[in-house]
Amino acid sequence: MSSIVPVILSGGSGTRLWPQSREAYPKQFLPLVDDLTLLQNTARRIDGLPGLVAPLLICNEEHRFMVAEQLRICGVQSSAILLEPVGRNTAPAVALAALHACADGSDPLLLVLPADHVIQDENAFRAAVVAALPAAEAGRLITFGIVPTAAETGYGYIRAGGAAEGSVRSVDRFVEKPDRETAERYVTSGEYYWNSGMFLFRASVFLAELEAHAPQIFTACRAALQGAKSDADFIRVDAEAFSACPSDSIDYAIMEKTRAAAVLPLACGWNDVGSWSALWEVCNRDPDGNVACGDVISVDSHGCYVRAGRLIATVGVSDLVIVDTDDAVLVAHKDRVQEVKRVVAQLKSGGRSEWKHHRKVYRPWGAYDSIDAEDRFQVKRITVRPGAALSLQMHHHRAEHWIVVKGTARITRGDEVFLLSENQSTYIPLGITHRLENPGRIPLELIEVQSGAYLGEDDIVRFEDVYGRQGTQG
């Protein structure tokens, strides 16, 4: 039997779950249903499949350290993490994975999984993958069609044809997201399944179909991988070649055109968590139908989803979504949560940062939390992981005061290198090169007070950086 390479797609931005999910820290990195993040659950649920090898991750370059760290925390070792310099949808992402998987002369099966879905019955999911193996081995491109539980208008549908191999059926056609009446007709017929975006196929078969039906994508991705460079745990594809690649989904580029497409019906409690109302559906609810995450008091409230960053009390309300973060609060009716994207659009057009960043921003060395800011000053709480270091850098427009509140800091300031312990402080004048390191075994925490005419994150000139970020932000 062929080996199975899980290909986990972690390129989504998750803006429909704003303000919890943001472009710089999207939903796949959040623990929305249990203690593990959606990415971690995706990587863990494949355990036990036959012929399984280490997963291959595809992600946005800006998310690379979060992907690596979350896999490390849950004990999953990836075979490689491929970095997309720009988003080009699923067909190019999987093309990179297939080309990489075949580079050593092997021809494995690829199990393509989005990183941001919820599957409640993982045994049923694994059983479906096993059932699809013979057809995939025989050259079929398998998509997993979710047995519909309601007339959803937010999903694409697949109409199944006759039997192909075993429980796998041929694909009659793919259809776009329907209106309510059409969706009800689809569900009643028993011939239609939700399009899950999960696939199983042999790498060489996928590449042959891609070259036949979307040759521009095939050529661009081959050139991008040929020009790739390894960077620590990551593979950086050639940015110019990949940027020239057309953007298209697997469905449009291949599945709607190929004769090898097949669908395997799957009932596993699947949900793409595409909105706050979808998340409400998969969470545990109290007798009044409320989902409460955090410090929540509900009085005569029904059918609400409340995620609290502080105490939130509801009285006499129904079917509301209330999400509280450090810098934003969302209040919406459950029936209109798809319109959250309009809020994100207004934040973008208004030049605000809340569509992209949380108040607490994660970096490869740790995180910083902007706890106060006014004209000409800003206060941050900085946390540096044990053994980690910020870049050697300088600023043109600001000076900085550092006060250590926990752990030990190694400071480079110009030609000086010295240690600071708890309750000690130092001053970094404007224009002086400096670096902050944590040489200890516990997290380093300090308060940074910035002062100056301009305090933007782009006022950083990097001279040395262990994370390959010279001359870049982040």
What is the mean pLDDT for each group of 10 consecutive residues in the chain (474 residues)? Answer: 93 89 95 95 95 95 92 93 95 97 95 97 96 95 95 91 81 91 92 95 97 97 95 90 96 95 96 94 96 97 97 98 96 95 96 92 92 93 96 95 97 97 96 96 97 91 82 48
| Per-residue pLDDT at 164 | 66
pTM of the complete model: 0.90
464-467 long-range contacts, Cβ below 8 Å, gap at least 24?
A: 464/391, 464/392, 464/435, 465/391, 465/392, 466/389, 466/391, 467/65, 467/364, 467/365, 467/391
Do 172 and 31 share a structural domain? yes
Residue 309 belongs to domain spanning: 276-344
Do 282 and 266 share a structural domain? no
| Per-residue pLDDT at 458 | 87
Establish if 352 belongs to a structural domain: no
Establish if 207 belongs to a structural domain: yes
Establish if 353 belongs to a structural domain: no
End-of-domain residue from the set 228, 252, 271: 271
End-of-domain residue from the set 231, 249, 271: 271
Query: Which structure tokens are listed for 419?
Result: 């240690």
Q: What is the DSSP letter of 86?
A: S
CB contact at 8 A, 354 and 386: no
Do 132 and 240 share a structural domain? yes
* 393, β-bridge pairs: 434, 462
Do 219 and 79 share a structural domain? yes
Establish if 157 belongs to a structural domain: yes
CB contact at 8 A, 220 and 242: yes
Establish if 471 belongs to a structural domain: no
DSSP 126-194: HHHHHHHHHHHHTT-EEEEEEPPSS--SSS-EEEEEEEEETTEEEEEEEEPPP-HHHHHHHHHHT-EEE
Do 181 and 107 share a structural domain? yes
Do 128 and 186 share a structural domain? yes
- Give the distance between the most distant pair of CA atoms in the chain: 75
CA distance 235 to 56: 11
CA distance 5 to 185: 37
Strands (E), 227-269: 229-231, 234-236, 261-266
Do 204 and 85 share a structural domain? yes
Do 265 and 283 share a structural domain? no
Total domains in the chain come to: 3
Do 200 and 154 share a structural domain? yes
Do 226 and 99 share a structural domain? yes
Residues contacting 196, CB < 8 A, separation 6+? 117, 143, 144, 145, 146, 266, 270, 272
State the pairing for strand pair 118-119/434-437: unpaired
Q: What is the domain-level CATH number for residue 458?
A: 2.60.120.10
CA atoms within 13 A on the CB side of 339: 7
| Per-residue pLDDT at 299 | 98
Which residue, 278, 340, 335, 287, is CA-closest to 150? 278
> For residue 417, what are the CA distances in angstroms to 413, 426, 466?
6, 12, 18
| Per-residue pLDDT at 471 | 54
Establish if 472 belongs to a structural domain: no
| Per-residue pLDDT at 15 | 86
Do 202 and 247 share a structural domain? yes
> What is the sign of the dihedral through the CA atoms of 90, 93, 96 and 101?
negative
Q: What is the domain-level CATH number for residue 171?
A: 3.90.550.10
Do 411 and 290 share a structural domain? no
